[in-house]
Amino acid sequence: MSNKILVIYNTCALYEKEAKVEAWIDQLKSILTQDIINDCKVVHSDCGTHPKYRTRIKEYFENDISYYHTPEALPIQATCNHATKKMVEAYGEFETYLYLGAGITFAHNAQLEVAYKILTANSNKLSKLDFQGPQNFHQRKNFTRPLTSIIT
């Protein structure tokens, strides 16, 4: 396996009575069925969601993904950067890093590879998929937005 792309899938249910954990599972499954997945790592980054929901994710995916969970109410930059830092410590540098917020589902198995090609062609070290309207990857063409640099 090569370290082409690290997908940081972020969830947060600080202010929600119930987390959308079943939707999160479906969204994570859509990442794990991507054609390029053998060259990728996925980390589930979460802040503040009740432990029972984070446990549900861990029980479902076990060792298929990595986890960075904190009970603290932290800004997304802190949780995303710390999750990334921990993954780099564990697996080494990646060619590119992709932030995915909860609510994004890949509709086709080649979409992560398309995102990888666009990110590396534009020399984006860390980007996120950006959507307006229905949250399916295939509905937007201009979908990358650089984020802040990675803290190592």
The Cβ-side half-sphere exposure at 110, using a 13 Å CA radius, reads 2
**Per DSSP, which regions of 48-151 are E strands?**
66-70, 96-101, 126-129, 144-146
Residues 90/3, Cβ–Cβ less than 8 Å: no
Tens of pLDDT, residues 93-129: 999 889 898 888 888 899 889 888 888 886 656 555 5
- In this model, does residue 64 exceed pLDDT 70? yes
Rounded to an integer, the average pLDDT of 18-22 is 84
**For residues 19 and 83, which has the higher predicted lDDT (pLDDT)?**
83
Please give the backbone phi and psi of residue 72, each rounded to the nearest 5 degrees, phi first.
-80, 150
